[in-house]
A and B are shown apart, each in its own frame.
Chain A
Amino acid sequence: MVGIFDHPQLLLFFVFSGVLIAGALGVVFHPNPISSAVLLVLAFFALAGIYAVLGSVFVATMQVLVYAGAIMVLVVFVLMLLSLHDDGISKLWKHPAKKFFLLFFVAILGIVLTNAVREGVPNSQSPAHGYSSSGEYEYSIAAENGGLSKPKTVRGNTAVVGASMFLDYLLPFEVLSVLLLAAVLGAVILGKKNLGKKPGEGDL
């Protein structure tokens, strides 16, 4: 057990966790979709705070920029485009089979959680990648051309993550760019007015 007074980060972690869980519950159980979106932004900011406490500063920055910024703007835009009246919790809640399965999965989750907490998390003994022996972010770039250029070492969270992304994961990165292009094209096609409708044909 770790005391709060030994580690002030733990207090920050609990504060951010409380905000995150409250925000997530608000997203699910608030009847008004607009309020849900605002609470989701709050949850994203809290999660960025948790990333920052953990020491992953670059991920925290991207969380704020991409999630709390770009994606949420899209969601709120679509919410404004659609009907704005209250939604309420679904009628599915009254369905006994769904309730049973939810309780079933919650029970399994509880068993797994208690087991994991009792046994702890096993740590692998594989050699560290992207970290120096002292636990700091560090990434060594090998020499090129048979030693014509000297090997380089980059330090710091952003530099190490970037080096690993563009050296180890270059192919997934490029595939992802193709996927994003396809997504943009698909969104444009879906947004066209007369989707799948021949001229003169009525509504489905």
Chain B
Amino acid sequence: MNPTISGIPVEYILILACIVFTIGVAGVLFRRSAVVIFMSVELILNSVNLVFVTFSKALQQVQGEVIVFFVMAIAAAEAAIGLALVVAIQRRKKTSFVDEMNLMKW
């Protein structure tokens, strides 16, 4: 099998995916606005997609590229539900900042 994909070593792409994943996690941890947190989750999902495509090409199995479309559909459903939740909470609590939502604290 080939350790490079059209001249690009697999390791480079995996490191790139790791970096993007870490940036996404940092966004989830450090931002206050719920919508920006959703955008960071999209970054995380995209880094996972990149890993799927990379291994699909490296192992020459087309299934990885199929699963990418499933992940995209899940991301679309998550965006629809999540953003609807944000709008609903915004209507009630007049804020979209997650550190001001203390509904489930005891």
Q: Which residues of A contact B (CB under 8 A)?
A: 2, 6-10, 13, 17, 20-21, 24-25, 27-28, 33, 36-37, 40, 43-44, 47, 50-51, 53-56, 58-59, 62-63, 66-67, 70-71, 74-75, 78-79, 81-83, 87-93, 98, 102, 105-106, 109, 113, 116-117, 120-121, 123-126, 128-131, 135, 137, 139, 157, 160-161, 164-165, 168-169, 172-173, 176, 179-180, 182-184, 186-187, 190-191, 193, 195, 203-204
* Residue pair B83, A54 in contact (C-beta under 8 Å): no
> Scoring B residues 1 to 30 as 1 if CB is less than 8 Å from chain A, else 0, what string do you get?
111111111111111101110111111011
Q: State the CA gap A120–B74 with chains docked (Å).
A: 31
B29 & A27 in contact (Cβ 8 Å cutoff): no
Q: Known interface pairs A28-B30, A78-B35, A180-B73. Does A139 touch B96 (Cβ–Cβ under 8 Å)?
A: no
The prevalent SS among residues of B at the interface is helix
CB distance from B102 to the nearest CB of A (A): 12
Partner of A168, one of B38, B40, B63: B63
Assess the B66–A53 pair: CB atoms within 8 A.
Answer: no
Q: Does A13 lie within 8 Å of B35, measured CB to CB?
A: no
**Interface residues of B, CB < 8 Å — how many?**
79
CA distance A204 to B1 in the complex (A): 61
Across the interface, which residues of B come within 8 angstroms of A17, CB to CB?
12, 16
Q: Is the interface of A mostly helix, strand, loop or mixed?
A: helix
Measured in the bound complex, the distance between the Cα atoms of B71 and A172 in whole Å is 11
Which of these, B13, B49, B66, B76, contacts A71 with CB under 8 Å?
Answer: B76
Residue contacts A-B, CB under 8 angstroms, 20 given:
A2-B7, A6-B7, A7-B6, A21-B19, A27-B43, A28-B30, A33-B36, A40-B42, A54-B57, A59-B68, A74-B83, A90-B32, A123-B58, A124-B59, A130-B60, A164-B65, A168-B66, A179-B77, A180-B73, A187-B80
